[in-house]
Amino acid sequence: MKVGVPNSFCYAGMENFFIRVIPEVLEDSQIVFSGKTTKEMVEYGLKNGCDELCIPAKIFIGHVEYLIRKKNVDVLFLPRLVSVLPGTYSCPKIIGIPDIIKTNYCGVELIVPEINLRKKRKIMSEKSMKNEQLFDFPMAKIAKTKNIIVLAHSYVIFDEFLNKGILETIKSAGYNPIYPAYYRFNSFYISSDLPKGFFWSSARDIYNYFEWAVNNTQIDGVVYLMTFGCGIDSVLQELIMRKCNKVGLPYLCITVDEHCADVGIQTRIEAYLDMIEWRSKDEKNYLSTHG
Amino acid sequence: MRKITFPHMGNLFVIAKALFEELGFEVVVPPYNNKSALEIGKRLSPEFICLPFKLNMGNFIQAIEMGADTIVIFGGCGPCRFGYYGALEKEILKDLGYDVEMIVIEPLFYGLRNFLEQVSKIFARKNIASILKRVYRLAKKVDGIERKVHFLRPREMVKGSVDKIYERFRKEALKVYGIDQMERLVDTTNVLLDNLYIVNEKVRKIGIVGEIYTIIDSFSSLNIEKILGEMGCEVERNLYISQWIDTHLIYPIFRKKDTIVKRYSKGIMPVLIGGHARETISYAIYFAAQKYDGILHIFPLTCMPEIIAKSVLNGIKNQIGVPIMHVVVDEIDSDVGIKTRLEAFLDLIEARSEKVERGLLSWD
């Protein structure tokens, strides 16, 4: 039996988890990953996704369609990630995405186990449900100086279509990009300066990383990669911007969407880095807060 | 003495005003949602946040200018963005330099102590139980008026007479004090509505589903209910304020669930994804089963749960078999565009119904 697993959106970085779990659930199965986002998938997604969905979700639909059309999978394996950190929820779109696939692609069989750490109710086997094993991303290495923190959901940072090569651009300008990778921090570490801890797992992760980096490392600037139509980003971005204003960090917010114009974004990043360079050289005393 | 204010949401102000006055506070009701409130909200809020947040900000600023010093709002524990409204609004108002206290009533998920602390700031009064009971009855009655207005609008003999009475009710509600007077006002309005002359015309029935704020609040939904009423359609919504109280505050105590949601969401959306996405889907199917002529789905731009609901409705539109129109509301302040769309929608329903009567229609 061919089991299709799209690896984008919330399932990005879960490859090792799936390889461990699927043989436990299904006998003699062959796992088919959709792989990296291609232009073809993006087109499928844009055509079949509902207009208001955020870009990662549209691309996800493209991945599913690609698996169905080109790989002829028998079953799709889409766990419902209700909560991946104790005490938090995932974004409503992540929770509801199996329902979209179920109702829009009627011919395909779906396997939708529920992962819900909020209620400490585990549907899948105990061993594979250890928190740190769910997602698997390479951690960023923190340099002594010249760090730029790039904040976004992991499915944006590690998707080359969505991040438009921002990490590479920053690297080639001589700076070291650092970024949050899902859930490396103790989930019960609640940020002190927030009026209320976030109830979204990814938002909590990003904000905690940001605050930790501001307090413990030497960072020169903050770049927020916002996806168009993302509900969490609209709140999170605002809070991070306000914090940067108070601390006096140069801040840049880039909204990425389906249009593939890498060059424009590269120019903006370069201008931003030039500004940081110039500021550290010429204006040691005065700190302007906006990039 | 605290001067309490709260955000607008349709006729919520009628109920909240009576409640806080009965508890002995001075109440500042912000001006009804209007263009300038939206303008203020647009300026102060994050760009991609949903419309209710922007209107809330406008309400708060206008109320503060009128002298309010305490804001009461509900919190939440996700996953819809509404749970973070209070916290973010607090932050924005603080950065703007307004000296107001925000009482955010969080659900019990964040601890009983936190809940009691916040609630005791408001409810440190005698016989709360009887006040809450009377407020609940008032909420039921106010929603009854709204239902009656929806019923009468397409049937009234003298066009515009229903809205005259309804507007008068909303205006008078700002002047009366306490639950008793409010209840008397509701009763007189009921009598006035009951005495209207009605004509029996062929009335189409439209079901409205969607995000709670935008369907309850007529300003944010661009007066869709009124426009539809004038076009000869009776409107039924899936959410009213008293119904919200039922499903969120009273049913959990008795471990009860909305029977329609339970019945119709089976197999389509088994778990809660936040907001009212499940209600939207199940009521859309329910309205279709009740032989409504059309369904309107209203939600603010970037509303996370409703986008999922829209996608799912797209997938099951064959099963529903009744035309659905999706209306995404954002910072628009003209209703001309929506009028045109509604006219087209009603034309479609008209054309379709003839075919249904002659048995010509195949939905595929």
Residue B265: closest C-alpha in chain A: A99
- Among the partner-chain residues A90, A103, A233, the one whose CB lies closest to the CB of B268 is A103
pLDDT at B142: 93
Nearest Cα neighbor of B73 from B96, B100, B34 is B100
Q: Which of residues 237-296 of B touch A (CB under 8 A)?
A: 268-269, 271, 273-275, 277
Which residues, 6+ apart, have CB-to-CB distance to B212 below 8 Å?
B9, B239, B244, B275, B276
pLDDT tens-place string over residues A174-185: 889 988 876 555
Contact in structure between B73 and B102 (CB atoms under 8 Å): yes
Q: What is the distance in angstroms between the Cα of B356 and the nearest Cα belonging to chain A?
A: 26
This model of the complex carries an ipTM of 0.87
Nearest Cα neighbor of B222 from B4, B60, B59, B33 is B33
User: What distance in Å separates the CA atoms of residue B33 and residue B29, rounded to the nearest whole number?
Assistant: 11
Does A27 have pLDDT greater than 60?
A: yes
- Among the partner-chain residues A97, A102, A234, the one whose CB lies closest to the CB of B46 is A234
User: Per the CB < 8 Å rule, is B271 touching A196?
Assistant: no
User: What distance in Å separates the CA atoms of residue B286 and residue B301, rounded to the nearest whole number?
Assistant: 25
Nearest Cα neighbor of A14 from A251, A243, A224, A183 is A183
Q: What percent of chain A has pLDDT over 90?
A: 9
B79 at the A interface (CB within 8 A)?
Answer: yes
- Among the partner-chain residues B78, B86, B271, the one whose CB lies closest to the CB of A200 is B78
**Chain B hits for A102, Cβ within 8 Å:** 268, 315
**Chain A hits for B48, Cβ within 8 Å:** 226, 229-231, 233-234
- Among the partner-chain residues A99, A114, A199, the one whose CB lies closest to the CB of B78 is A199
Q: Order of strands, edge to edge, in the sheet holding A2-5?
A: A30-33, A2-5, A75-77, A109-111
What's the distance, Cα to Cα, between the start and end of chain B in Å?
Answer: 64
The pLDDT of A199-205, averaged and rounded, is: 85
Does A291 have pLDDT greater than 60?
A: no
Which residues, 6+ apart, have CB-to-CB distance to B256 below 8 Å?
none
Q: Which of residues 169-198 of B touch A (CB under 8 A)?
A: none
User: Per the CB < 8 Å rule, is B46 touching A194?
Assistant: no
What tokens does B135 get? 């407020």
User: What distance in Å separates the CA atoms of residue A232 and residue A230, rounded to the nearest whole number?
Assistant: 6
pLDDT at B355: 76
Q: Output DSSP code: residue B247.
A: I
pLDDT at A187: 47
Nearest Cα neighbor of B209 from B321, B310, B79 is B310
Residue B91: closest C-alpha in chain A: A195
pLDDT tens-place string over residues A36-62: 888 889 899 898 888 888 889 999 999
Assign B122 a pLDDT band (cuts: 50, 70, 90): confident
Q: What is the distance in angstroms between the Cα of B88 and the nearest Cα belonging to chain A?
A: 8
A274 sits in which H/E element: helix A262-282
Torsion of CA B31, B32, B38, B41, to 10 degrees: 50
Residue A57: closest C-alpha in chain B: B308
- Among the partner-chain residues B87, B310, B315, the one whose CB lies closest to the CB of A195 is B87
| Most distant CA pair in chain A, distance | 66
pLDDT tens-place string over residues A70-128: 888 888 989 888 888 777 888 889 998 999 998 888 888 888 888 877 765 554 544 44
Residue B316: closest C-alpha in chain A: A103
Does B28 have pLDDT greater than 50?
A: yes
Nearest Cα neighbor of B316 from A106, A86, A278 is A106
Does A261 have pLDDT greater than 80?
A: no
Contact in structure between A88 and A204 (CB atoms under 8 Å): yes
B46 at the A interface (CB within 8 A)?
Answer: yes
Residue A116: closest C-alpha in chain B: B271
What tokens does A87 get? 């005490």
pLDDT at B57: 93
DSSP bridge partners of B344:
none
Q: What is the distance in angstroms between the Cα of B223 and the nearest Cα belonging to chain A?
A: 23
Nearest Cα neighbor of A92 from B220, B75, B84 is B84
Nearest Cα neighbor of B103 from B23, B207, B222, B188 is B23
- The rounded Cα B285 to chain-centroid distance in angstroms is 20
Contact in structure between A97 and A26 (CB atoms under 8 Å): no
pLDDT at A190: 52
Q: Peptide bond before B79: cis, by omega within 30 degrees of 0?
A: yes
pTM: 0.89
**Chain B hits for A50, Cβ within 8 Å:** 307, 310-311, 314
- Among the partner-chain residues A92, A106, A114, the one whose CB lies closest to the CB of B80 is A92
B354 sits in which H/E element: helix B336-358
User: What distance in Å separates the CA atoms of residue B264 and residue B255, rounded to the nearest whole number?
Assistant: 19
Query: How many Cβ contacts (< 8 angstroms) between chains A and B?
Result: 118
**Chain B hits for A96, Cβ within 8 Å:** 269, 273, 277, 305, 308, 312
Q: Average pLDDT over chain B, rounded to whole?
A: 88
Residue B75: closest C-alpha in chain A: A196
Which of A9, A61, A95 is most worth mutating to test chain B (most B CB atoms within 10 A of its CB)? A95
Q: Where are the beta strands (DSSP E) in B135-293?
A: 204-210, 233-237
- Among the partner-chain residues B91, B301, B304, the one whose CB lies closest to the CB of A195 is B91
pLDDT at A128: 47
HEC profile of A213-254: HHHHCCEEEEEEEEECCCHHHHHHHHHHHHHHHHHCCCEEEE
User: Per the CB < 8 Å rule, is B90 touching A49?
Assistant: no
B95 at the A interface (CB within 8 A)?
Answer: yes
Q: What is the distance in angstroms between the Cα of B83 and the nearest Cα belonging to chain A?
A: 8
- Among the partner-chain residues B79, B87, B90, the one whose CB lies closest to the CB of A90 is B79
Does B263 have pLDDT greater than 60?
A: yes
Contact in structure between B225 and B340 (CB atoms under 8 Å): no
Does A155 have pLDDT greater than 50?
A: yes
Using a CB–CB cut-off of 8 Å, the residues of A that contact B are 49-50, 52-53, 80, 82, 88-93, 95-97, 99-100, 102-104, 106, 114, 194-196, 198-200, 226, 229-235, 237-239, 242
User: Per the CB < 8 Å rule, is B314 touching A199?
Assistant: no
Does B286 have pLDDT greater than 90?
A: yes
Assign B259 a pLDDT band (cuts: 50, 70, 90): confident
